[in-house]
A = this chain, B = another copy of it.
């Protein structure tokens, strides 16, 4: 265990620098030498000391991920982000240090303490106080989400504007003229969480473009919240024939409430869910959905981070195009 690079060098009969170059590949080493070194490494079970390496090379091979570990919204989506980030990080030979979102000092700590090579931050709000902090760090950072002013940081997210439009366009094309959006909880909106606002904007714009009626209702992430939201929709838009649901937790309750109120899906009401596919098909009726490709977004975030770390590429913003998969919950409107 306590084997060092010197032990390896001695065993292989070379200098420590040669071992180092075998490991890093930064200088050419002849095949026989390399093989001897590699054998010694294997036989001794040698593993470089991360701290020593970080000290000497000023690269830690660790990424910080700041995740919102609240339990309120779309936990499984968060999970998928995280797995996407972790698995992608591994392909770049990096590990992931997990920070919680409530700890704004954490970013500074890990960054100025040289614990990480880059930072990835989820759940960005429009005027997120963390963004200026990140911008001041010497490590690159990638935002999952879209602040009002990215301040030179890279961003990546699903194009929620487009998603909102896409949902409306799909429904309008099916002949629906009265469409409601059952959205994020009020608290999320009040935080000005970027994705929620963009979803609403896209929805609103789609409604305007299609020349149909639209209604936006926030929805708490609970059984009663869903009941309330659906009832508000039915009150304010009695002839509604289509729902866009952008709230994963409330989704089952929205469906059951519709049923309780005598609205059959899809005959009376079409439903487009904005959620991962497994959630969409896990409902009693397989739902037409717009995917939240959390895993992919996480992966892209890491790729962008590594591009900056390894090749010093400039920051960029990437918005992933939404995709709608048609299933059993959307049908043409009766006329």
Contacts and interface: CB of A to CB of B under 8 A. Distances in A.
B100 A97 contact: no
Interface string A42-76: 00010111111111000010100100010100011
A69 B86 contact: yes
A1 B97 contact: no
Interface string A95-107: 1111110010010
B53 A82 contact: no
A331 interface: no
This chain: how many copies in the complex? 2
B76 A98 contact: no
Contacts of A97: 62, 95-98
Given A113-B50, A115-B95, A282-B223, A100 B80 contact: no
A112 interface: yes
A55 B45 contact: no
| Interface size class, chain A | 35 or more
Interface in A252-297: 252-253, 256, 278, 282-284
A267 to B, nearest CB: 19
Interface of A: 1, 45, 47-55, 60, 62, 65, 69, 71, 75-76, 78-80, 82-83, 86-87, 90, 95-100, 103, 106, 108-110, 112-115, 138, 222-224, 252-253, 256, 278, 282-284
A71 B170 CA distance: 29
Given A79-B79, A112-B1, A223-B284, A51 B48 contact: no
